[in-house]
Structure 1
C-alpha cells in the first residue's frame, strides 16, 4: 500500500503570517516615511514628533496582556482578523488629520496612532501561537524568523512606494493607500486561516508529522465550545515574572526592539535631516539596510534550526545567532565617524543585518511559552519588548533636541544591542519550556480541608 505524501499547508499558513506582518509593519512605518513632510506641513517640532511616534507604543504595550488573553479565549483566527481590519481602518483615518487646526491635528494624530497600537496588540502573540500550533519544534526557528523578517521586507517593499506617494501626492495619501491594503487582507485572512485539525486543505500525514514532532495542533480546538475563562490567569503571569530565564528574555527583547524602533521611526528623518537626502531618496535608501535585515532575519532562523538538527542543544542553537548578530549590530555607532554617504548606508545595512540574525526572540518564545497560556505568555513578552516603542522615539527626540544631531542617538541604539547580548549571556541560562504550577482555587482549598476533617473524624 502506497504511503500518502504529506501536504504542506503549514507553508501557506507561514506565507499568510509573512504577508500580514509585512502589512503590519508597513502601517507602523507610514508615520516615519510621512514624518518629515508632515512635520513641515503641521509645524511640529522634534520632541512633539517623538511623542507622536511613541503613541503607537503606549497602546500596543497596554494591549498585550488583554490581546494575549483574547487569543487564548477565542482563538487566533477571529481575534487576528478583527485586529487587521481595525488597525487598517485607523491607518486610513490618519490621512484626514490635516483637515483640522494645528493643535487638533496633533491630538487626532496621536489618538489615531494610539488606536492603531491597540488594534495591533494581538498580532505577534497571534503569530507565535499559530507557529506553535502549525510547526514542529525543529522548524519553529525558521518559521518564526521568516514571519519576523517581514518587518524588514515591509521597509524593502513599501518604503520606496510610500516615499514616492508622499513625494508625488502628499503625506495624506500614504495612510489611505496602506490602510486600504490591510482592510482587503483581513477578508483574505478569514478565508485561509484555520487551526491544523480544522483546515480543509491538510491531510492526515501532515497533521501527524506536526503533532508527533512538538506542534501544539489542538491549541484552538476548545475555543467557542463552552470553555470557561474569567480573564488573564494572574497566578500564571506571576510565575512567568519570577522566572529568571523569562526575565532575561524580556530584557533582551526590549533592547532588540529599541533598535527596531529607531529604524521604524527616526531613521528616514535621520537620512533627510542629518544626511541631507530628499524624502524620495530617503525612501529608497531606507530599503537597503532593510534588505540586509530581511536576509539576516531569515538566515538567523535557518542557522538556529540547522544547529539544532546537528544535535546541539536548544540553548546553544538559539543563543549563537542571537549573540553573534547583536554584537554585529553595534556597528551602527561607526556611522558617527564617517561622512561618505555610501559608507554610512553600508554600516547601517551591516547593523540591520546583525539585528536581523539576532532577532530570534519569537522562536525562543515558541520554545519556552507554557502551553496553558501560549497567547498570554506571548503578549507578556511583547509587552515588555515594546516598551521600547514608547521610550526609544521619545529618548531619541530629546537627544536630538538637546544636542542638535543624531550622534548620541546612534550610541544609544548601539548600547541597546550590547545590553541584549549581556542579558542572553548572563541572565537567560538554559532555554526550555516553562512548566507552570496550578494553584488550588478557594473552593478547592475548602473542599480539601473538609475532606481532611472528615478523615480525621473517622
Structure 2
C-alpha cells in the first residue's frame, strides 16, 4: 500500500506551551553537555598536574560511558514509570553535585569513580528528552523539535567551550568543575518547578491538547504510568525488528564521531596540532557551530518534506545517510598541516554528524507507544557504547605525534553506519510500528 503523508493539521491558534517546554529541554541539554565537555577542556592541564598518560586519560574519558551505557535500559523504564519531571530533576541535581566534587580529585582512581557517578545520573537524560518530545509534539512537528533540542548539544559546545577555557584560565581546572557543578544544581531546581506533563500543565489549552493528541503525541497521566510493571517480554520486543537493530547499530557509529569531538578534539588541537590553548577554545567552537546548523537543517527540511507529501522513509533517512557520508571528510585532516584546512575538514565532518543526529525520530516512529522510554533507553544504550569504545580506542591508536589512525577509525565507523541504514534498516514505513501489531501476526522485516 502506498505510504500516506502524515497529517498537515494547521497549528494556528493551538497554543504555544509545547514550545516553552522545548525551551526548557534545550537549556537542560546545554547544561548536560557542559558537564560532559568540561573534562575535555581540563584534560591537558589535569594530565600535566597529575601525570596521566594518554591511555589513562582515555580511560577517564570513557569511564562516564561504562555506567551511562549500562543504565540506559533501566533508565528508559524508570522514565516510563515515574516521568521526566522527577527523574530529570533529581538526576540533574545529583550529577551536577558530583561534577563539583571533581574539584577535590587527586588520583586516577578518584576521577574514574567521579566520572562513573556522573554517567550513572546522566543515564536517563536522552530517553527523557525523547519522552518529553513524544508527549508534547505531534508527529509532523517532531523532527523539527528533535532537531532543535539536539542542536542544543552543539550550540552549547560552541558557546560554552570558549567560556570554559576562560574559566579554567582564571580558576584552574578544579575551579572549572566547581563552577559548572553549581550551575547545574541551580537549574535542576528550576526544571522541577516549571515542567509538567501535557495533561497536568495548567497553562496548556484544550486546543493545543487536541492538536498534539490528533498528531500522535503520547498523552498519559502519571497515575496511569505508575501502574506499569517491568516485563522481560517488553525488553525482548525491542530486538524483534531488524529495522530497530539497524538503527541501534547506526546510532553507535553516529555517536562515535560525536564522542571524538566531545573528548579528544581539544587535546588533538593543542598537543597534536600545537595550537594555542585559549585560541584552540575558539577554534574548536567552529565545528560545533557547523554541527548546530546541520541538525537544525535536517529537522526542518525533513518535516517540510513530510508536509509536502514526500515519502516519510526518504524524508527521515536522507539527512542521516548524507550526514554520515560528509563525516568521511574527517580523513582530510590527515593530509594537511594547515590549521584552516584542518578546521574546514573537521567542520564538514561535524556538520554531517549534526545532519545525522535526527535519528531519534525513528524511535518514536518504530517503537510501541507505551514503551517509548524503554525503546529510547535501548537506542541510547547502543549509542552510549561508543562513549566507552571511542575514547579508549583513540588513546590506544595515537602514537607519539601521529593522530592519523584515530581519525581513520572514526571514518571507518561512519562508513559502516551508512551500510547499516542502506542495507539493514532499508525502507521505513512510519505509519504503524510493526511491534504493536496483534500477537500472532508476523513482525515486519
Within-5 A mapping of 1:341-380: 341-380=339-378
Matched, 1:86 2:94: yes
Pick the aligned partner of 2:413 from 408, 413, 416: 416
Deviations 1:159-214 (A, max 9, x none): 00111111222111111111111101111111221111111111111111110111
2:209 to 196, 202, 207: 207
Q: In the alignment, what sits opposite 2:80?
A: 72
Q: After the TM superposition, which of the residue ranges 80-89 and 235-244 deviates more from structure 2?
A: 235-244
What SS does the aligned partner of 2:90 have?
Answer: helix
1:295 maps to 2:303: no
Measure the CA separation in 2 of the matches of 1:387 and 1:43.
Answer: 27
Q: Within 2, Cα distance between the matches of 1:305 and 1:228?
A: 32
SS of the residue corresponding to residue 359 of structure 1 reads helix
Q: Residues 73-105 of structure 1, C-alpha deviation per residue, up to 9 Å, x if partnerless?
A: 11111111111111111111011113xxxxxx1
Q: Which residue of 1 is the match for residue 41 of structure 2? A: 33
The structure having more radius of gyration, on CA atoms, is: 1
Q: Does 1:150 align with 2:147?
A: no
176, 183, 187: which one aligns with 1:185 = 187
SS across alignment from 1:435: helix
1:167 and 1:279 in contact (8 A); partners too:
no
How far apart are residue 31 of structure 1 and its match?
0.6
Q: What CA distance in whole angstroms lies between the structure 2 residues aligned with 1:108 and 1:372?
A: 40
Deviation, 1:438, is 7.9
Matches within 5 A, 1:15-164: 15-98=23-106, 105-164=107-166
**Cα–Cα, structure 1 residues 339 and 165, in superposed 2: closer, same or farther, change >3 Å?**
same
Structure 2 residue runs of 5 or longer lacking an equivalent are: 1-11, 441-445
Where 2:95 maps in the other structure, the secondary structure is helix
RMSD: 1.6
Deviation of the 1:136 alpha carbon: 0.5
CA contact (8 A) 2:200 2:221 kept: no
- Structure 2 partner of 1:245: 243
- Would the aligned equivalents of 1:145 and 1:360 in 2 still touch at CA under 8 Å? yes
Q: Which runs of 5+ in 1 are unaligned?
A: 99-104, 441-458
Deviations 1:276-314 (A, max 9, x none): 012212211111110111011111111111111110122
Please name the residue that 1:427 is paired with: 424
Which residue of 252, 255, 270 corresponds with 1:254? Answer: 252
Q: Say if 1:308 and 1:317, in contact at 8 Å, map to a contact too.
A: yes
Match of 1:170 in 2: 172
Contact 1:56 1:116 in 2 (8 A): yes
Distance 1:289 1:423 in 2: 25
8 Å CA contact 1:236–1:436 kept in 2: the answer is: no
**TM-score normalized with structure 2 length:** 0.93
* Partner of residue 384, structure 1: 382
Mapped to 2, the partners of 1:219 and 1:393 lie a distance apart of 40
CA distance in structure 1 between the partners assigned to 2:385 and 2:248 by the alignment: 10
Matched residue pairs, number?
426
Normalization by structure 1: what TM-score?
0.90
Cα distance in 2 for residues equivalent to 1:206 and 1:352: 36
Deviations 1:208-249 (A, max 9, x none): 11101111122645144xx152x3x22122122131000100
